Amino acid sequence: MNNVPTPTACVGPCNSGWRRAETARLTKGTPHELTARAGQPVWCNPCARHVRIGLADFPELAARLMLEVENATAAGTVHVSGSKGRPIHGRERYTFCIDDIVGVLNYWAEAIRVDRDLAAPPPRSRGAAITADTRLLLIHFDWMIAEHSEPAQSAEFGKDLNRLYRHAAKLTRTDDVRAVPCEGIPCRQCDLMALEHELDWQGRATGYVLCRDCGTLLKEDEYERWVKLAAQPFKKRAAA
Ligand SMILES: [Zn+2]
Ligand SMILES: [Zn+2]
C-alpha cells in the first residue's frame, strides 16, 4: 500500500474526513481512496490561517463572555447540591470558558517567554492578560505553528486554540447566525451534502467552507475549484 505517510499529513481539520477513513481502514479494513493533505510541516497553510483568525478574535470573544457573565442569572436552573448531575448554570459556563481562555493563552505565551528569555508579565487583570497574551502569540505565531523544533508542540498549540475557539464561539454565537449551506455540492472527503460557508460567532464569513459532518475545512477558492470538479463525470474527477 502506498499511503501518504501520516507524519506529514496536516493535523488540522482539512484532513478530518481522511483521518476518519483511515481509522475505518485500520480497524475494519474498509478501503478508501482519499489522500491526506500535507502539513507544512505540521499544519497546511489554510488550516494554519484558520487557527490564526480564531486566535486574533480571543480578546473580543472574552469581552463578550464577560458581558454574558454579568447578564446571566441562576434563575430557572435546578440546583441540586452535591449531585453529580447538577446542571451548570449559565454564569458558570461562561466563567469556566473565560478561565480556559486565560489558562490556555497564558500556557503558550509562557512557553514563548521562556524560549525567548522574555520577562514575566506584571500582575494583570484577566482581560489585560488575554489581550497581551493574544498579541504575543500572534507575533510568534509562525514560529509556534510551523517552525517549532518539536512538531508535537506545533500540533498541540493549534489544536488547543481550535478547541478553545470552537467552545467560546458556541457559547457566544447569536441565534440568528446561520451558516449558508452549499446546495447540491457533496463534501470532497465524506461525500455527504453537509458543506456550508462558515460564519464566525458574529456572523461574519470566515472565507472557509466547512463540512458539518466530517469537519473537513476548505478555503473558499479551493471550494470553487471543487465545485467545478464535482460537476465533471466521476472518472475525470478521480484522475484530477
Ligand atoms: Zn490542513
Ligand atoms: Zn465531509
Q: How far apart are CA 96 and CA 39, in angstroms?
A: 32
Residue 181 lies in a domain: no
Ligand having the closest approach to the CA of 182 = 2
Q: How confident is residue 195, by pLDDT bands cut at 50, 70 and 90?
A: very high
Q: pLDDT tens, 85-130?
A: 555 567 888 999 999 999 999 999 999 999 999 999 999 999 999 9
Residue 115 lies in a domain: yes
Top pLDDT among 167 and 201 is at 167
In angstroms, what is the span from residue 218 Cα to ligand 1's centroid? 8
Q: How far apart are CA 19 and CA 190, in angstroms?
A: 11
In angstroms, what is the span from residue 53 Cα to ligand 1's centroid? 14
Residue 20 lies in a domain: no
Top pLDDT among 199 and 128 is at 128
Residue 150 lies in a domain: yes
Residue 230 lies in a domain: no
Q: How far apart are CA 58 and CA 133, in angstroms?
A: 10
Length of the chain as a residue count = 240
Residue 69 lies in a domain: yes
Return the C-alpha cell found at 86: 447538577
* 131: amino acid identity, one letter: T
In angstroms, what is the span from residue 116 Cα to ligand 1's centroid? 28
Q: What is the predicted ipTM?
A: 0.84
CB 180 within 8 A of CB 69: no
Q: pLDDT tens, 142-180?
A: 999 999 999 999 999 999 999 999 999 888 876 566 788
CB 210 within 8 A of CB 217: yes
**Nearest-5° angle of CA 123, CA 127, CA 130?**
85
Task: List the 180-181 sheet strands across, edge first.
Answer: 180-181, 195-199, 205-211, 217-219
Domain that includes residue 145, residue range = 45-73+88-172
Residue 182 lies in a domain: no
Q: Which residues pair with 210 in a beta bridge?
A: 196, 217
Top pLDDT among 231 and 195 is at 195
CA distances from 155 to 48, 66, 68, 145 (A): 10, 29, 31, 7
Burial class (CB in 10 A: 0-12, 13-18, 19+), 147: exposed
CB 153 within 8 A of CB 191: no
Residue 103 lies in a domain: yes
Cα–Cα nearest to 101, from 172, 167, 164? 164
Q: How confident is residue 202, by pLDDT bands cut at 50, 70 and 90?
A: confident
Ligand having the closest approach to the CA of 226 = 2
In angstroms, what is the span from residue 15 Cα to ligand 2's centroid? 10
pLDDT value for 91: 84
In angstroms, what is the span from residue 74 Cα to ligand 1's centroid? 41
CB atoms within 10 A of CB 31: 8
Return the C-alpha cell found at 128: 489585560
Number of folded domains that form the chain: 1
In angstroms, what is the span from residue 175 Cα to ligand 2's centroid? 24
